[in-house]
Structure 1
Amino acid sequence: MAEPEQRRNFYGRVHGKTLRASQKDYLANDLEALRLKQVTQEENPTRTVLHPAAIFASPRPIWLEVGFGGGEHLVHMAARYPDIGLIGCEPFVNGIAMLLGKIRQAGVQNLTIHPGDVRDLFDVLPDACLDKAFLNYPDPWPKARHHRRRFVTPGYLLELARVLKPGAEFRVATDIPDYVRQTLEEVPPAGFTLVAQTGKGDAWEDWLPTRYEQKALREGRAPHYLTFRRI
């Protein structure tokens, strides 16, 4: 008899402001075609595994953005690197709708969406299947009692390390100094080494400032950019 599936707590927002008519159109007509759904059975019939190599028309490196917000960085990277396949993961419906609008406008075809909790995606990804990962301006969960909800905790990081290939790059951008502190404390023990830590004006060469970064700068908070390598 199979054991009952453990229910996860999810603390982030799923819905925000009322969607515009155009955003409802994107969700109704574009999301299904871009949603991750190529799932094949593994030898163990009780578990399914998603093979990223089957998502795109030709074999290519696969990158993951965890929590893509409004999608500007994800679409920028898809347009800049047409030979790369990108997976965007985001549970916030308003953000998904914003991304879909940007995809329709840009016409990029090398990305796919998981509209949900990244842990559900980790459940079906095989080991060492991703070449790069991005965590841009994640929810800071500023209260001390909520720090365990941050992405940079073992429950997320160990699974991220499992699905990243050896040598894969993990980028983190945040404007919260305490998030930097926790990132530096928690990421290396999960299987990473710190490659670079930079600040305002010294981001990655292919970086696109997001609306969250622009808001942080307007409010006087400096960005931090951290680059890790999967050991």
Structure 2
Amino acid sequence: MTDRNAAAPGETGPRRNFYGRRQGRPLRESRKRLMESLLPRITVTVTPGPAGQPVVIDPAQLYPKPMRAHWLEIGFGGGEHLAAQAKANPDVGLIGCEIFLNGIASALSHIDADKLDNVRIYPEDVRDLLPALKPQSFDKIFLLFPDPWHKTRHAGRRFVNQANLDIVANLLKPGGEFRIGSDDPVYIGWSLAHTTRHPAFKWLAERSSDWLVRPADWPPSRYEQKAIAQGRVPHYFRFRRV
């Protein structure tokens, strides 16, 4: 656990604690170069506006060409899912949010290798970005294998809570989809309980295979593959914005 004692670049709200790591192993030189050259070109920036409120960010204005849809991934880990979705859907604009520098560097390597021009990255605390995004801008929002914060006293750090579900609901278009993936039994139960009782979401499941079998349009990530290798069972939840 680390305390963020200084405001992050582009932060518009009050300072608050950040829990987790910003960096792991030292980056390889090739990835350092991508952090210096590619990341600045595709970074989404939060700009303070009047009365301390952020200037509204319209995802439709972030890409060099019009997109048929816009998707948001909250905490993309190593970027495998983000890049695979971008490659499979070149007419969809994706914003990926991640604060772990090694994960950002990994995602940049995928973006560079496949020459993806439909991905933008927010490399800071996602809590600063979400209030700045234009309401009802996204067709899909992904929260895949987030840190479960196992201990009861750390439950308040979990992303899935009433306030954040309100924000997700506000950002999704009517009929949009919110996807949650997890292999942790505590987080699985927590996420399902909170999201199913939120009035803005309908769980799209009729049989056990709907949450135990990964949908064909849901690319795997390294964290999911690691969980399976260690004997854990991933769950795949899909919710409709009603």
Q: What amino acid is aligned across from residue 226 of structure 2 in structure 1? A: K
Q: Which shows bigger deviation, 114-123 or 69-78?
A: 114-123
Q: How many residues align?
A: 225
Pair 1:221-2:229 in alignment: no
Which residue of 147, 152, 157 corresponds with 2:160?
A: 152
TM-score, structure 1 as length reference: 0.91
Note the residue ranges of structure 1 that are not aligned, 5 or more in a row: none
Matches for 1:81-230 after TM superposition, within 5 Å: 81-188=89-196, 189=198, 191-196=200-205, 198-200=210-212, 202-230=213-241
Note the residue ranges of structure 2 that are not aligned, 5 or more in a row: 1-11
Matches for 1:52-63 after TM superposition, within 5 Å: 52-60=59-67, 61-63=69-71
Contact 1:64 1:86 in 2 (8 A): yes
SS class of match (1:112):
strand
SS class of match (1:113):
strand
Q: What amino acid is aligned across from residue 58 of structure 2 in structure 1? A: H
Structure 1 residues 86 and 148: CA distance shift in structure 2, 3 A: same
Calculate the aligned-residue CA RMSD, in Å.
1.9
Contact 2:23 2:100 in 1 (8 A): yes
Structure 1 residues 21 and 159: CA distance shift in structure 2, 3 A: same
Contact 2:38 2:108 in 1 (8 A): yes
TM-score, structure 2 as length reference: 0.87
